[in-house]
Every structure is written in structure tokens, then in C-alpha cells.
Structure 1
């Protein structure tokens, strides 16, 4: 028997600088400031504490906002576990585990008086938003373990069990507008208080599972699994679903006695599994939302604008995996290779509906995607001395993602923002506007402005999925010292960056220097009128004079290249979407750690088990060769988003280097 209890509390005070805030973040607002505006030298507030604006009320002064517009978050997390085990005999044992994970987020968001923007200009009055978000997860698992004796060559391990998982959450949000007494941030100090949200979510999953592992002479292994789940988030008739799996492996160097002076270990393995997944809570039938305004003094509830599929079924993923492992030269060289083919069917997702239906979306089983790829790892120990050792580990991963099928009547669907799903395309590809071009790719230029024409049709302009990833770790050990460094390389993976667009459009980097210099964009004049094309869509075509296209001769300034309000589109602000999409290739020194393990003679005198002191640095260097040089943009920022919005960066704060010191004492 045993039990554990842990509690953690953290507090964070910051500003509006995060992802998805665009120019509303303090970081994004700096792009809109004139280059001669002294951020640190000039005052940001007047004697009354109100901000001193810098751009006619469009954006709040970022320096003033850093002190007056803040977010305070307090996180409380409690984790408790209890376990018990009873051994009836050498063959049969019962294990039971129960745990609870409770989390609470308390968040106060202050927008102080004289701020710009907000609904109906409310920010100028001051707005306080209080959020309480509580979640709780309870897990109960009972397992019967059976290990019968079936001879001297075979081993058998059977597990039969049941688990119950319950998740509940509640989000409450209150808001007050117009601070009566400046500097007192309390809902009671606002002239208008309103109740914005009170959302409750519940989910329960009950599972019954079995796992049988058969071994033969410690070189041949077979594993069979099966699981039956019952969920509360799917329609009743589809709420129960079954998924099995089988895998096997053979250590062929042991089976066929093939060890030698250079070959130490060889193994092959293969497996096939089917895994089921349910829907998110409250997506099986219509729900109602209480309207805080009410109607004639009475409570009012609005029906959900999303329609739900009464035939909704679980998602299933079927995966085939084949791999091998080998070790050579007294295990100084090791190699692993894995191939996988994963097909996900009946993906659950809401699709957009015409407003004439009376709904905004339809929550249903959308389609099928396939992921296929390779994973490889190489371990090498070039030096293995008594006091000195050098280890190198390299990992390579490559994945190809393709949408294979969508439900009838749907050719493509929007996942989130600029991310789309379409048959024959990568999942979550970037779709948006792009310049009009001839069939051979020549730009079509507006006759008046000299800027590229924007094609009337949106198309694929990027794939956020990387071509491959490589990680290399070097570890050097000398007596009690250990130095390790992790270098990684991501090849490809397109991303849209609002930050780069803003920096180029506002002219705040050397990439757009000499803004008054004029130049001619290489391209052909457009007829400026879209006409039907062979694909059934309207397209611009070249202007023909005497039956021949005309080369553009219109000069434009660097300023207009990146920020134009005229006809045509720039290469940044007010430009086509494609010009804010960049290749995410990046080389990075991810982490360096220098550690020292104190000698056991000293540690034993202190009646300790181990003492380790280390210094570390993360994100010490990176090179992104395919983004504008002087933006110094880190493609990793776009990976901080969640859900289906991949490859989209909208005002994220710059990445940082992190230095740390750690002392680890083991009793």
C-alpha cells in the first residue's frame, strides 16, 4: 500500500504580449511607433496617470501599458494518489490505483483607464475581467495480474482490468467597466458589472481491458491487447467501442546464435493496433447558453448555433509499425529504424454551414487522413576510456501527411483561421490570397500602381508540416564532470507570420532600408479584368498590345513595396497572404548543460545519496536562413499555438535565451 500527495502554487504577473494578440500586444504595438520615439527616455503618462498616446488613439502606448494593462494569474494544482496491492499466491495478484488531479486558475485582467480600443470604446473607462477556471480529473484503475507457469521455456503475463476516468471543468467569468476610483482594481469599484460566462463540462469514460504477453526463451515475444470503452460524449448507440492490438518481436541474434566480435544484438519487431477516441464533452446534442442580459427582467437562454450529428461515431486510428534494432562492437554503435503507416478515420470536427440553415456549423465525422513516415536513431561512442567518455546520439524523423477522404458534399473545410483540410492535400495546409501569375509563374502587374495583382481565388500557399527533423546530442564525461549539447535541425514547414509582416510593413528593420529608392517589379502588365479560365474560375490575364504581352515599366518605391494603400498588393502590409508565409527551416543549439557529480566519499560523509550541481543554457543560438535576415525571427514561435492552428504566428513575443543553475540533492 502507499499514497502520495503534492501541491503546487504559482503566481505570474505579466502583460498582453502573447501569441494571437497581434498588434494588441505590447510587443506588437512597438511596430507602430515612430523610429524617433524614445521608449525609455520619454514619459508614457501624464500627471493624472493617463497614457500619453503616440498614434492618434489607434494603439495604446506599450510602455504605459506594461505598467497599467496587466494579467495576474494564480495556478493551484493538487495531485493525490493511493495504491494497494494484494498477492494471493505466486500466480495471481490484484493492483488498485486511484488518483485525483485538481487544478484551479484565477486570472485578473486589467485594462486601465485611458486605454484605447475595446467594445464601444470601453477600454478608455477601464475594464476588469476576473476568470476562475477549475478542472478535476479522477482516475480509478483495478488490474488483475496472472503469471502462470507454463514450462521452462515459456513465460506468460496476463492483465485484466477496469478503469474509470472522469473529467469535470467549470469556467466562470465576471467583468466590470469604468473604474470609479483610479488605481483600485475591484469589481465593486466599477460602475457597470456584468456576468459574462459560467460554463460547465463533464466527461466520463469507463474502460475494460486485457493484455497478454507471451515469451519464448527470452528472444521471442508476442503481445495481444484489447480494450472496450464506454463514453458519455457520444450518442448512446455509438458510445461503446472496441479496439484491439497485436505486436511481436524477435531477438534474432539470440534465436540463431549469431553473435560475433562485431555484432552484439539484433532485433526485429512489428505491430498493428487500432485505437479509438471519443468526442469533446457537450458535442453530442444541442446545449443552451444563459444570456446575461435576460429579457424583460426574466432569464433568457440561447440555443447553441452548432448542429450535432445524431449518428456521430468514435474516431479510430489504425497503425502498422515495423522496426529493427542492432548493436555493434561491444555496444559502441547502435542503430534503430522504424517505419509506420497510420490511418485515422471518422475524424470528428465541426464543418461550416451556410447561414440560411439556421446554424453556423455541423459537428460530425469529417473524413480520413494518413500519416506515413520513418524514424531512425544512431548511437555512437567514439571514445570509451576509464575516466573519459564521449557519446553521440542522432535522431531522424520524417512524416508525410495526406487527407484521403472527406464526407460526401464537402470538398474542403476550414480547420482554424488559415488552416484547411482538403482531399489530396496535407492536413492543416495554409490557404489564402496570392499574386496573379501567368502559367509559367510570371507576375501580373497593375498598370497604374506597378504592384502585383491579387488573384481572385484563394489557394494553397504553404504546408506547415516539416519535411524532416534531426536532433544530435553530444555528451562528454570526464571523472565527475559531464558536458552535453543538443543541436536540432528542422527542415521546411511553412508558417504565416504577422510579426514579420508588421516589421516589414512598418519599416522597422534593415530589410526595407532605402525606402525612397524606386524600382520596377519584374512582371507583365495585367488587363486588370478577371476572365473565366480553363479551370472554371476567374483569373487575370496579361495585357496584350499587338498580340504580345507588355513588360511592366512602372516604378515603385521600397516603401510601397511593403506598405501600400493603392491598387495592387504589397509584399507585407496590405499584401497578398503568400508574402507573409515563410519556410520554417531552422538550425538550433537547443541546450547546453555542464554538470558536476560530487564524489561519493564526500557525499557519504554528509549522509546523502548523491549531489549534483549544474549550469545550463537553452536556445543559445539559432539560424533561420529563409526568413528576412534582420527580423531575427525564430520559427519556433509559431509552434506555441494549440489545436489545428498550426503554422500561424500572430504577434507572439520573441523567443528568449534561458540560463539556469541547479543543485540536486538526493537523500
Structure 2
């Protein structure tokens, strides 16, 4: 009996062994023979299976009569019978799969794009990371219809972002930024108060562009960006009146089991390539005071018995003698015998310098490294990333160092409970930001107040042995005291600003599925930073020595709970959610400025002030409580309906008016579902959306508050006083934006052709804005509700795949948007309000009733009925007696064109053009460049072939295009021009240039230009290394990239309209002194393990 049992067991054992065999093999691509990692190999009819490794290999025990199923995304599924085989190698064929596109929508909810009744546009990591930039959002330029991005190329500079134009007259027009559910503050940290006492660089006065807060983000860790426009953003509340930009960071994927490592390294170079066009024929000197005479020459002086020719270094203009190599002059640096004996009393030829202005700027270097470690399992996913970026700017002495640490995680605690979190830390230190505008420390003086014969290599010796400054702009040859301008290298290495910012932001969420279909999610979101910036002017500078510091802190916390219910019925899917949010913000700023100069050199501290330092402290708090809800219905996958409601209660509005309610509704209809027999139509959708969004104001616009009185203590105690010169309003209410949009989405031939069209109309009423009042009231402005602004536009996106073959694919995408902002009405008796003005110019930025928003007002030319400019009896153009509108600073349209190519499935090439048409700007830089004889046009040749700087009697001067005539001004502001004749009078060239300063009576509109440009924004070529040569490395990619490579179509030579960006506020289109545009080249390496 025992022997029988043993025999049976042995028989069973060998039978089982006979039935199960070990199968191994390699799965490759049929097209190129490359191994395919991640292919699912499953025994048909069971859950027995495995995925191929990085080399496409697998090994699996299976029954000898089994059938294996090989499947992978984008590949045709194949079944292979084992039939006793021990090795099965297989080549899979690619399959064109048309998948429903999924996008991230409001509150971070992912939905199929076809179900949305409003316009949403996504940009993925591949498109974003083609070129690594300092500011994450600058990488969106030209990639999203309706998104207008203007980015500075200054180190740590700002990006100005608008979605569908402006909605508020004086309030915030930037969109809300949300990162992984965290509302992120993206304000410009330049608060408009600087050490020079002016209002900052946004309006053309001297100041520093301190950048947006989004400079803190690491672009390498962004997975995708979704842009929500109009009704799509309504559920986010008052801050979403201008749209929402949703940023999703990279996370560990649950499908990637075990540990993973991602490495990337980027080396980039910045090169200044676009500066205002300057004349190269004449050196420095001055014109006689009335502006109509000849050009001054040199001064002859006797030093130690020898006669020398000395230029007018005390005059900072370019009206000196014409270059002549036979003329020897004593340069500015020939008088410092003790410190620089080799240059002492050494004449040099009067010629164009070997090292001109552009050599002042250095080659910028950007070195960025990123590492991310991931781990994922069945119930958890975690990703830890660190990024370090070291930037050497094009401004001498400038640098920036950034550290970013991000930790994202999620876990399934039980079948019904899940948690997720995100914690981020960043530290950014920046030194030597360039000052722009009309300021003491601005390098824009190169183009305004300068000498053209200066050699910038010689200027590098900016101080003597005793530490005193050496500047070309000296009071006299024997008095080295700076007259108007410091040595630019003294500015860079002595008068530099620096700043540092520490920031934490993150979230913690817990979700609980109460019953099937009913889920509660509770979340806490936080964002906070401390920003400390410092400005200095050294003893020995042209301006009084000083030190300025500002410490700004910001904290925001959001507490949110959402209850979501989903139900699937026959042919109908229902999703409903409701929730609440409490938002609390805290803001403080402390400023200090020395008075009367510094006591001890090189000690930059408020205690080193000659007189009592000036200080100022501001504290603001705000809370908004909200309730919101949404219901979405999917009817047979064909008709989608959605509605939302939200009510906010804001602490910044009066108690009786602090509640504001706003709804939204949208619908989409997939008519292509009714046309299933039409094979060439992949998608056909009609959509419509409508929404209202309320918006409040900043704190303390309702009731007066006390603050510290900087005029001094009273009887030894600090004084509190109501110092505000604003008349507050206890009747303020929320402003309201009503958005309507309609559109159609089409795609053809398996999505090889796609077209999206959107029309929209936004109307904002009850604008919260300041209104000027009589000074006799004791106030400057009163806060009111008034005004209505309408914004109507269209957006078009077109995508094509003209060529799709096994080893070559060409994709084309273009975005086009056009809108018109109109200020329909302001306030009874008020036709316009000033938003800002440009210094010295006669140019104002205004919101004017009946005009496009952001209208430039200047003294314009007078024109006859045929459009000819009118020339006065003195030979110069005549101007309007009053300021008149000459155009809005906002563009007529924007456009992006992108071509991308994939070659041999391993090489990719992408080329992006960014186009902007229309919009005006006023250039103080151009005005002074003409006035001071610096601009190329000041050394032009007239229609007789002679230089305009020659006297008119010698054939020089200039004859201005236009007509003479009699001008009659009417009471209504109009005028008529009669008895016209072509102008034949020549006027002094220097006299003409001097009159670019509006105080001399010519039109200030002659320094108004269009903001047109066509930019070769991005070029990238990348190569994905074959998996078979990588060994343990799962993926490897190397790419060369360039950004801002070429700029075409600008209105004024050498002026890049994008360089006008000096902050993210509403003051745009005013150039007080630009910093040149950079182009960027670089290489990026990415590795995956």
C-alpha cells in the first residue's frame, strides 16, 4: 500500500513538472529592433504574469500548454502558444491608438477634455522642459492661446502674465497660480519703494526688478500646466477672476514599482545680443544751451608745460567732435599718477573704442542639477527631489543661487482611506540685479548720458589705491569727483543690491470613502516666505551714500473640505460635490533707509546713518470664508452639463457688503457621436460656458487704521496716527466679472487634424478703484465702486500631423488670440484716470472712457486731412495742445507657431516662433538718447547726402517730412489745417534732436513705438539613447537648446519690447531705460534608473 502511494505521488510530481516549464525571451520593436521594457506578459485566462525589464527580457514559469498574451501601450497585442517551447522571442508592431485626452481642471480634478464646456489648454512636461528657464511660466510663451506672457531676461527677472487681457482697471490682472492644490503667491516683490526715493522701475524711474514669486519653483519638477480661462476658473473664487494656471508637479507613479532615480543636468549660456542702436561717428561733448548752434570742441590745457586737448568729461552727452585718428586727446584715466602711472598724461587717438558698450556685459552661465528619488508600491508612492541652480548673470558681479527641495507622497491606508502630502522648501540668493530706468545706478545711462569714445576695458580700473572712485564723468580734469555718473564697474561692484528669499509651501490631504460613491476629502494648504532685500550706495559715489533694506513676509493658509458623490445610472453619470474653504493671509513689510549719508565706508547698516534712519512698518491681515458646490451630468457620453456655485465672505469689505455669490454653468455636446459612420471625423464638439466671479480689495480700504508716525516720538513715546491720504469707503462692495464663451472643437483623420475655436466676452462692473479728489479735503484719492470694462476676443488652436511614417513624424501646432479691452464707463464727471506716467516725458498711462484699456496719452503730431504731419514756421513739427490717446499698451493679437519632428524614433527637433502684433510703448530711453546725441539717428545723413550735425549753411541739418500750413483750433478740441505746402526748411540737426525732450515743444509721440515682434523663441534638438547600450540605465536623453535666438520686426532698432517688463503689475509700456535682451544656448542631460 505504501509503495502504491509513493508511486502515485511521484507520478503526480513528475506530471506537474511536465506541465509547468520555465519560459524566457526578449521582446523588441518590429520597426527598429529595440528592446521594449514594461511589456506585459500574461498567461491567458489567469493573473500569472510579469513585465519585461529594461532590456526587454522576461522569465516566467507557465504550463506547457499555455498561451502567452503580450501587450503594451501603443503596440498591437499578440498571443503566442507555448507548445513546449522554452524560449519565445517576439517583435511587437506599433499601433496607432487614439486616446481620449485627459486634462486637469478646477480643484485638481482630472477629466476627459471632450466633456468640458469651456476652454482648457494643457502643456506637458516635454513641451515645458525643452528649454530650462529661471521663471517656470516664461516657458509657456507662444504655447497657449489667449495667454500673453512677456518675460524679462534680467537675472531673476519678472514675467508678466495675462489671460484674455485685463479685467480690472487698477486691481490685480494676473491669474491665480495653483501648485498641487496650493494657491501660490506670484506677486512681484518690488513694492514700488526704492532707495533712490522714486517709485521703482515699472514706470521708468530707476529701480530693480525683483522678480515674481514663481521664480522659487523648480521647472525640472513640473509635470504639466493647465490654463483655465473664463468659466473654467469660477469655482476658485474671487482670485480666479483673471483665470487660473494649474501646475502639477512630478510624482512617483504607482505603476513603477520599487525604487527609481532621475538625474538631469543643464548647462546654459546667456549672451547679450540686442541693444539700442548707437552712433559711432562722434565722441562726447555738449551743445550750446539753446540747442540750435554748432558742436563744442575740445578744451586746451597746459599741464607741466605741455599743451593737451581734453574732452568735456564733465558733460555726459554725445555731441563732441567727429572722430579723427590724427587728433590726440588726454583720456579720463590719464590723471591718476600714483595709482596708474603707466596711463598718466598719455594721449590717445580720438577714435571709436575697441571695446564698446556691449563688451561691458559678460557671458552668463547657468548650471542646474536635479536629482529625484522615487519609490512606489501597491499602496504608496513617494518622490523626493532636489534642485540646485547657480547662475552667473550678464551684468558684471551678478549671480543667483537657488535650492529647491520637494517631497510628494501618497498612501492608501485602508480600502477607504488615503492620504497625500506635498512639502517644498526653496532658498534663493541674488546679488547684483541690474537697475533699469532713470536712476543713479542704472546701466541704461550707456544709451542716454554717456560718451561714445569710452573704452570699457579701461573702465574696469574703477578705483584708485586708496579706494576712491575713478569715473570718466569727472567735474574737471584735475577734480575726479563724479559729476553725474559713476563708473559702471563701480556701480556693479560697489553699489550692487542683493536679496534672499526663504519659502515653504505644501499641503496635507486625507480622503475617506464613506460609502461606495461618497467621498470626503479634507486638506490644509500653506504658502509662506520671507524676502530680505538690500540696496547700497558707497561713499565716493555720485549720489549721497546710503543703505536701504526691506524685510517682507507673507503667509497664507487654506483649510478646505469637499464631499463628493458619484453615481452611475443607465446612460447617465452624475458627479456632485460641495465644500468650504477658509483662507487666511498675513503680510508684513519693514523698511529702513539711512539719512544724510553713511558714517563709515563699507558698513551697510541702519545704525551707520549720519542722521536718524527713516523706518516704516506695514502689517496686513485678511480672511475669506467660502462655500462652493458643483454638479456635472454625463448623458450617454454625448451631452455634458455642469453647474457651480460659490459664495465668499471677505474681511476687506464692509460687514453689510462682504458677501458675494457667483454661479457658473457650462455645456458640451459631442455631435460626432451621432455621426459614427463618418470615419474621417474623430471628434466634433460644441461647447458653451457662462460664469460670474466676484472680487474684493486689499485690506484697510473701508475703515481708517492707525499706524506708526515716522515724524518722531511724542514725549519719548512712539506716536500712532492716521497717515493715509486715501479717503476710505464703508460702502464698498465686490466687483463682478461676468464671462460668456462659446466654442467648437474638431478633429479629423484619427486626430491628425485638430481645430479649436473660442469666442468670449468678459464684462467687469463695480470696479474698486481710487478716484482723485480735491486736495482741500485733506486726501489725494477716494476709494469707490465705479466703471465697467468689456473684453471680447477669439482664440484659435490648429494642430496638424502632415507626415506620419515609421521613422519620421512631423507635427505642427499654432495658437492665435485676439481681444479688445474697452473701458465702457468710469464715474460721473470723470473721463479718465491716470494709472502711471513716464518721467520727463509728457507721456501718461491712462484708463479712459471709450478707449482701449492701458491707453498711452502723449502730445501727438498735428496732421492735415491727408495724414501729413504739420511743420511750424520754425521748421519743427507742431504738436497737439493737449495730451491725446495714441494707442493701448496691450497687443492687437498674439500667436505661436511650433513645428516638431521625430526622426528614427530617437531624434526629436522642435522649433517655436512667438509673435506679437500691436500695443504701444513710450521710451524715455529713446527720448534722452536722441536728446543727448547718443542714438544712431543723431549722426544720420540728410537727403542732400550730408551729415545732419553739420551747420545748415554747410548743407547739414535736417528737413522734416510734412507740410506747412495754417492751423485753427476749435472749441471741441478738433482742428483744421489749411493753405498747406510741402516743407522745404532745414533745421539744425542737434536742435532737432534736442527737441525730443517734450519741454522743447515738439510731439512726445515721436518716442512712441509699436510692441511688435517675431521671435525665434525656442529651438531644441534631442537624442534618446538606445536602451540596448545603456546597461543598468533605463533611459538617457541629451538635448541641445536655444531660446530667444532671433528677434524680427521690431519698430525701433535695438529695442526689444519684451525688455520693457519691469514687474508684473498694471504699469506696462513705459521704458525709462531697458536692460538688453539675452539669447540662451545650452545642453541638457537626463538619466533614468
1:476 and 1:532 map into 2 onto residues whose CA distance is 61
TM-score (norm 2): 0.56
- How big is each residue's C-alpha offset from its partner over 1:538-569, in whole Å with a ceiling of 9 and x where there is no partner? x7x87x9xxx56765542133222224xxxx6
Q: Tell me the equivalent position of 2:648.
A: 229
In the superposition, relative to structure 1, how do residues 374 and 95 fare at CA in structure 2: closer, same or farther (>3 Å)?
same
Q: Quick check: 1:563–1:571 contact (8 Å CA) kept in 2?
A: no
- CA 292–452 in structure 1, closer or farther in 2 if over 3 Å, else same: same
Matched, 1:47 2:484: no
Alpha-carbon distance in structure 2 between the residues aligned to 1:403 and 1:590: 33
Cross-structure match for 1:652 = 1074
Cα contact 1:562–1:572 (8 A) shared by 2: no
State yes or no: 1:83 paired with 2:509. Answer: yes
Aligned mate of 1:36, from 453, 464, 477: 453
Matches within 5 A, 1:167-566: 167-177=585-595, 178-254=597-673, 256-294=674-712, 296=714, 297-300=716-719, 301-417=721-837, 418-438=844-864, 440-448=866-874, 450-478=875-903, 479-513=905-939, 514-516=947-949, 517-523=956-962, 533-535=970-972, 548=979, 552-564=983-995
CA distance in 2, matches of 1:165, 1:594: 45
Which moved further from structure 2: 329-338 or 432-441? 432-441
Q: Partners of 1:49 and 1:248 in 2: how far apart? A: 72
How many correspondences in the alignment?
A: 639
Aligned runs of 1:119-134 on 2, under 5 Å? 123=544, 126-134=545-553
**Kept after mapping to 2: 8 A contact 1:563/1:572:** no
Q: Which residues in structure 2 correspond to 1:104-115 (within 5 Å)?
A: 104-115=530-541
Structure with the bigger percentage of strand: 1
3-state SS of paired residue (2:925): helix
Q: 1:407 to 1:570 in 2, by over 3 A?
A: closer
RMSD: 2.5
- Change in CA separation of 1:573 and 1:63 when aligned onto 2, cut-off 3 Å: farther
Specify the alignment match of 2:99 in structure 1. none
Residue of structure 2 in register with 1:138 after alignment: 557
Q: Which is worse superposed, 22-31 or 646-655?
A: 22-31
Task: Report the alpha carbon displacement of residue 502 of structure 1 after superposing the two structures with TM.
Answer: 3.0
Kept in 2, the 8 Å contact 1:430–1:462? The answer is yes
Q: Distance in 1 between matches of 2:512 and 2:604?
A: 56
Distance 1:552 1:334 in 2: 56
Task: Report the secondary structure of 1:656's partner residue.
Answer: strand
How far apart are 1:116 and its partner, in Å? 2.2
Q: Give the Å deviation of 1:438.
A: 4.5
Greater RCO, CA 8 A, separation 6+:
2
Cα pair 2:606 2:613 within 8 Å, conserved: no
How big is the shift at 1:155? 0.3
Following TM superposition, by how much is the alpha carbon of 1:302 offset from its aligned partner in structure 2, in angstroms? 4.3
Q: Deviations over 1:597-653 (max 9, x none)?
A: 3344556723x5x443323211000013422x3xx1111122444322122222121
Question: Using the alignment, how far apart are the partners of 2:455 and 2:985 within structure 1?
Answer: 37
* 319-328 or 414-423, which deviates more: 414-423
Q: Residues 249-307 of structure 1, C-alpha deviation per residue, up to 9 Å, x if partnerless?
A: 011111x1344232211111001111111112222222344222315544332431011
- Structure 2 CA distance, aligned partners of 1:81 and 1:444? 64
Contact 1:265 1:327 in 2 (8 A): yes
CA–CA distance in structure 2, aligned partners of residues 618 and 400 of structure 1: 30
| Stretch deviating more after TM superposition (239-248 or 353-362) | 353-362
Whole-Å separation in 1 of the counterparts to 2:426 and 2:701 = 32
| Selected match of 2:1046 from 621, 640, 644 | 621
3-state SS in 2 of match to 1:242: strand
On the 8 A contact 2:702/2:731 being kept in 1, the answer is no
Q: Work out whether residues 911 and 1020 of structure 2, in 8 Å CA contact, stay in contact via their aligned partners in 1.
A: yes
CA distance in 2, matches of 1:259, 1:67: 72
* Structure 2 unmatched runs, 5+: 1-418, 476-482, 838-843, 940-946, 950-955
Residues 504 and 572, structure 1, Cα contact 8 Å, conserved in 2: no
**Structure 1, unaligned stretches of length 5 or more?**
118-122
